[in-house]
Amino acid sequence: MMLIPSRTDTHYWHNYVMQAKEIRFVRGRLCFAENGNRGSEPAPFPSAVIVFKQGQYCPKISTMDAN
């Protein structure tokens, strides 16, 4: 299971995500909390929850620097 940006126009989305068992789009933009306090700005991108079958290949997707 992965929570990722919903980048449906990208190469990895069509090559990997479209092979998932289930794709659930998150309505609205996520807002993350830090130390129990809700962030003031929502994410600048839409998100999706991707579910792969057990044992199915799960692609390695680059992560963004947390700085």
Q: Are 57 and 21 in contact (CB under 8 A)?
A: no
What contacts 66, CB < 8 A, 6 or more positions away?
none
- 53: Cβ contacts below 8 Å, ≥ 6 apart: 21
Q: Can you tell me the distance from the alpha carbon of 66 to that of 53, in angstroms, rounded to the nearest whole number?
A: 29
Domain ranges of the chain: 1-28+45-57
- State the average pLDDT over residues 1-9: 94
Q: What's the average model confidence in pLDDT over 25-44? A: 86
pLDDT for 66 equals 41
Of the candidates 25, 23, 17, 20, the one whose C-alpha atom is nearest the C-alpha of residue 53 is 20
Highest mean pLDDT of the ranges 3-7, 50-54, 58-62 = 3-7
